Structure formats: C-alpha cells, structure tokens
Amino acid sequence: MSKVIAVANQKGGVGKTVTCVNLGIGLAREGNKVLLIDCDPQGSLTISLGCDEPDRLDYSLANALIGIINDEPVDVSRGLIHHEEGVDVMPGNIELSSLEITLTGIISRETILRQYVNMARELYDYVIIDCMPSLGMMTINALACADSVLIPVQAAYLPVKGLQQLIKTIGRVKRQLNQKLQIEGILITMVDNRTNYAKDISAQIYEAYSSTINVFETEIPLSVRAAEISASGSSLYVYDPKGKAASAYSSFIREVINNGTKSWSESKAV
Ligand code: ADP
Ligand code: MG
C-alpha cells in the first residue's frame, strides 16, 4: 500500500527540501519505489536532484495540474526525472506561482493535486511532497492528499507560534478535506550539538508537543556536508556516506518505517 507524506512548514530554511531528498532516496535504498513531488515554485528539490534550470523545463507539475483542471487526460509519468539514486521526481518551477492564483478561482481547488497523487499511488510505495514555505493553496493541496505530514523544525529559535499555526491548518484540512490525515512527526533539524542552546530548544519542543505529536528521537545535526548536497545533485548517502548527517537520516528513516503514525486529533494538540 502506498503512503503519501507531505513535508511542510511555512517557515523557509528549516530543512524541508534536504529532508525530502534524503528521506526519499533513503526509502528507495530500502527497496521502495519512491516519487518525489516538488510543490515549491523555487524548484529547490528539482535543482537539488540535478536539474539546474527547472524554469526551462517543457513539462512540470504545473502542466500536469493544469491538465487536470482542464479535464484533460493526464499521464502521471510524463515529465518525470529519473534520478540515478533510484527515485523519480516530478519537477516544480515558477509556473506553480501562477497556478496558485489560477487555483483560487476554480472548483475543487483544494483537491487538484490529489487527483495527480491518486494516480501515482498505483505506481509507488511512497510519494513525498516538498511543500513551499507558505500555507497557501499548493500547501493546502498537499495536505489534502497526504496520509501524513512531516514537520521539520530548525533547532535555532523557539518556533512555537509558527508551529501552532501550522498545526491549526492541518486540523482544518483534516476536518474539512482529508479525515485520514495524520501528523508523521516533528523532525528537529540543523542541531548544533556543541551548544546548550540547541539542546534547550529540543527539550522545549519535546516538552510542548510530545504528548500529542510524535517528536522523532533522531535529530538531524548541523552539517556543512548537508548544506552542500543541493549543489552536488546527490543524496548524503552518496555525497558523504560516513558523515553524521547521513547516519542521522538513516536512523530517522528507520523510525518512519517502524513507527507508523500516532493517532492524532486536533483537540489533543491545540
Ligand atoms: P527549506 O526547504 O525548509 O527551505 P532547506 O532544506 O532548503 O530548507 O534547507 C535550508 C538551508 O539549510 C539550505 O541551504 C540547506 O542546504 C541547509 N541545510 C539543510 N539541512 C542542513 C543541515 N542538517 N546542516 C546544515 N545545513 C543544512
Ligand atoms: Mg525547500
């Protein structure tokens, strides 16, 4: 059975894209068929996986979604990039920005991506969606079609306000559009273990949320090598296989595979 995970946080620079790359490729290395979908007009996921100029692609996620809006037959495999580390990528680019505006005026605007993803479910074990840093229409679409949301949080400041807003939005989507939506968990990223500050933040996130939301035991360390992978076009498992970030992502994936998702309801969390 396929599982669809949306990686979301309306704050930028928290490690969503790096997490998508290493989660997706890590799952593929375990023998799973994996599709990564780039829902960010900046195309960072697409660039990270070796496509230098996503804005010049002939066909990308926006084209597939416009096809769905126009009731045209859509081939789910069209436009996919096959990455050498065993994942497929549906690229995203600047055209998603104008699509966001188009979406606001159409019927079923929150569930256009769901129609694409439901076709992909037939072909893949995991579909991982890299969301843009906003709670706009594309992110709502991602939440409306996912089985769970993974929330990367940077261990740099206390992100309580932003997190509460995100959790509220997830609750709203769950009530109105996607009752089976779960929270996969909070993943603490860019942890600088040399500082007490990072440990304090982890402890505070754990204290505030772990009774209602899964907080992954594995934390992703701050790592220069992790910051370099976007330019390398590969995952940490190839770029820096013995490094601490690669090994952290491996144990995080073990948690994702083993843990399932804690049953979550908004009333418990807010
Ligand atoms: P988002 O998708 O949430 O905007 P990114 O995954 O693009 O975040 O990460 C933001 C920046 O931090 C990027 O420059 C990325 O290379 C860097 N980065 C991501 N994870 C780490 C890490 N574990 N250690 C150091 N830098 C990281
Ligand atoms: Mg990103």
228-243 pLDDT, tens per residue? 998 999 999 999 999 9
Virtual torsion, Cα 139, 141, 143, 144, nearest 10 deg: 160
Q: Look at ligand 1, atom 18, and give the residue with the nearest C-alpha.
A: 227
35-64 pLDDT, tens per residue? 999 999 999 999 999 999 999 999 999 999
| pTM metric for this prediction | 0.96
What is the Å distance from ligand 1's center to 221 Cα? 11
pLDDT tens digit at each of 270 positions of the chain: 899 999 999 999 999 999 999 999 999 999 999 999 999 999 999 999 999 999 999 999 999 999 999 999 999 999 999 999 999 999 999 999 999 999 999 999 999 999 999 999 999 999 999 999 999 999 999 999 999 999 999 987 766 678 989 999 999 999 999 999 999 999 999 999 888 888 888 888 999 899 999 999 999 999 999 999 989 999 999 999 999 999 999 999 999 998 765 555 554 544
For the Cβ of 14 lying below 6 angstroms from any atom of ligand 1, the answer is: yes
What is the Å distance from ligand 2's center to 49 Cα? 12
Longest dimension (CA), the chain: 55
Best of 18, 153, 230 to mutate for ligand 1, by most ligand atoms within 8 A of CB?
A: 18
> Cα–chain-centroid distance for residue 173?
16
What is the Å distance from ligand 2's center to 8 Cα? 9
Domains of the chain by start residue, with CATH? 3-269 (3.40.50.300)
